[in-house]
Amino acid sequence: DAKTTQPTSMDCAEGRAANLPCNHSTISGNEYVYWYRQIHSQGPQYIIHGLKNNETNEMASLIITEDRKSSTLILPHATLRDTAVYYCIVGDNQGGKLIFGQGTELSVKP
């Protein structure tokens, strides 16, 4: 079973920041938090991952709480092309397989 819980869906206005929450209260100390997204009819696309510290790349920022029990993915200026299902995943340490949950369906609206 997935170790994360996410809202089923969210809306965001184009140009605004999209903040996607994720709860992972049972995460263990050496497990990573990964974010992937899947645009309709495409394979999943890696966004970002982190262990303890906040992370930022060209796509997004990842904010992890100090107790590591939750995190937030931030898309700073959402565009229509960011409409997708966003998956928050806690990494399995045995070979790195990903256990996907149902994800959050983000709709960016003009």
Partner 1 sequence: GAGVSQSPSNKVTEKGKDVELRCDPISGHTALYWYRQSLGQGLEFLIYFQGNSAPDKSGLPSDRFSAERTGGSVSTLTIQRTQQEDSAVYLCASSSLGRSGETQYFGPGTRLLVL
Residue ranges in contact with partner 1 by CB under 8 A: 2, 30-32, 38, 42-46, 49, 51, 87, 91-103
Rank residues 30 and 110 by Cβ distance to partner 1 and give the closer one.
Answer: 30
Q: Which of 38, 41, 63, 37 is nearest to 52 (CA)?
A: 63
Q: Are 17 and 78 in contact (CB under 8 A)?
A: yes
Give me the least distance between CB of 61 and partner 1, in Å please: 17
CA dist 48 and 26 (Å) reads: 20
Lookup result for tokens 């309709």: 40
Rank residues 14 and 31 by Cβ distance to partner 1 and give the closer one.
Answer: 31
Give me the least distance between CB of 81 and partner 1, in Å please: 17
